[in-house]
């Protein structure tokens, strides 16, 4: 599924349970992102090299039980997540998240 302006607009963002992040999209689709997989997919400069795109995050440094402590909207285009491992610099754009919906792709 490809994201466009209508599908990449969430109407609700929150938790699916104690660990995972749930987004209900404007087109009615609902995505549930497993917390650790979403943390490992963080697109910030500390986790992904801005020049080369190389992954900088070391998977073994992220606890298996990492959870979102706080989820905030960033304008009308993204969310930021404060993680239980202390990480909080990632901005997850809605189109980035929609393209990585676990039920639509296998890249989260």
Q: Could you read off the pLDDT of 70-100 as tens digits, one per residue?
A: 999 999 999 999 999 999 999 999 999 999 9
Q: How far apart are the first and last CA of the chain?
A: 14
Bridge partners of residue 68, in order along the sequence: 83
**Domain 10-99 part of CATH 3.40.190.80:** no
What is the pTM (predicted TM-score) of this model? 0.86
Query: According to the model, what pLDDT value does residue 8 have?
Result: 74
Query: According to the model, what pLDDT value does residue 1 have?
Result: 40
Residues 6+ apart with CB under 8 A from 7: 1, 25, 26, 27, 29, 98
pLDDT digits (tens, 9 = 90+) for 6-42: 567 899 999 999 889 999 999 999 999 999 999 999 9
Tokens at 48, concatenated: 């992904």
pLDDT digits (tens, 9 = 90+) for 39-76: 999 999 999 999 999 999 999 999 999 999 999 999 99
Q: 21-25 and 30-33 as β-strands: parallel, antiparallel, unpaired? A: antiparallel
């Amino acid at each position: 599924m490809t994201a466009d302006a209508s599908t990449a607009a969430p109407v609700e963002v929150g938790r699916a349970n104690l660990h995972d992040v749930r987004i209900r999209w404007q087109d009615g689709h609902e995505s549930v992102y497993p917390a650790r997989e979403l943390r490992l997919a963080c697109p910030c400069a500390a986790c992904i090299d801005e020049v080369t795109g190389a992954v900088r995050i070391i998977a073994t440094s992220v606890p298996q039980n990492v959870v979102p402590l706080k989820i905030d909207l960033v304008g009308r285009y993204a969310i930021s997540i404060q993680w239980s491992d202390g990480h909080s610099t990632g901005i997850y754009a809605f189109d980035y998240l929609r393209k990585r919906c676990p039920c639509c792709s296998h890249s989260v």
